Amino acid sequence: MFGAHCALLALLAGAAVSTVQAAPQEFAIDPAHTHVHWEIKHFGTSTSRGRFDAVSGGITLDRAARSGSASLTIATGSISTGFAPFDGLLRGPYLLSTTEFPSAYFVAQRFSFDGDKLSAVTGDFTLRNVGKTLTLRALNFACRQDTEPAREVCGGDFETEFERSAFGITHSLPFVADRVRVLIQIEAVRQ
């Protein structure tokens, strides 16, 4: 009888552990390892590139349920191309209008999986106060366990494209392309 009770307690303890592991987990964006890069064809001859350096937000990941959510805020004034006069033009009223619209947002409620592998994240992207549905394709995604400091970190690389004119950014069309390619490197630390 005593052995049966021990076996039952061990089974219940194991079930409790697996229930805890299956719960959604919260992650905070690591701003030192998260950047939004962009590129756009310039006058049909070259590609202009830059990035946004200030990105914040959080992610909820439920690996067992293959679901999640994400909320990212991008400080539009943190745009950087390595050429200050061009950065000033991009921040100006004809393009990003960073004084009037200091932040862009991506809020995702749908994570898509191919088996156990995250394949895409879909949500609403808001730029210049205009919101559109956007899907980020996962180029890779993985989690690791750090020992110093002890923590779990998940991250990956994602890509998407959108037409800037859909957000009211029409300056220099058609000389500068409408289609913008976006590459996002992201790392987040489990809370």
Contact 137, 162 (CB under 8 A): no
Per-residue pLDDT band for 7 (boundaries 50, 70, 90) equals very low
Rounded to the nearest angstrom, the gap between the alpha carbon of residue 129 and the centroid of all alpha carbons in its chain is: 19
- Cα dihedral 42, 77, 153, 64, rounded to 10, equals -80
Contact 52, 60 (CB under 8 A): no
Which amino acid appears at position 100 of this protein? E
Q: Using a pLDDT cut of 90, give the percent of the chain over it.
A: 85
**The predicted structure's pLDDT at residue 4:** 42
Tokens of 184: 């996002």
Q: What are the residue ranges spanned by the domains of the chain?
A: 24-190
Tokens of 136: 């980020």
Tokens of 101: 């619209």
Contact 20, 156 (CB under 8 A): no
Tokens 């076996």 correspond to: 7
**The predicted structure's pLDDT at residue 3:** 47
Contact 182, 162 (CB under 8 A): yes
Burial class (CB within 10 angstroms; exposed 0-12, middle 13-18, buried 19+) of 13 = exposed
What is the tens place of the pLDDT at every residue in 60-110?
Answer: 999 899 999 999 999 999 999 999 999 999 999 999 999 999 999 999 999
Fold (topology level) of 24-190: Lipocalin (2.40.128)
**The predicted structure's pLDDT at residue 169:** 97
**The predicted structure's pLDDT at residue 14:** 43
What is the tens place of the pLDDT at every residue in 70-80?
Answer: 999 999 999 99
Name residue 126's beta-bridge partners. Answer: 105, 131
**The predicted structure's pLDDT at residue 23:** 87
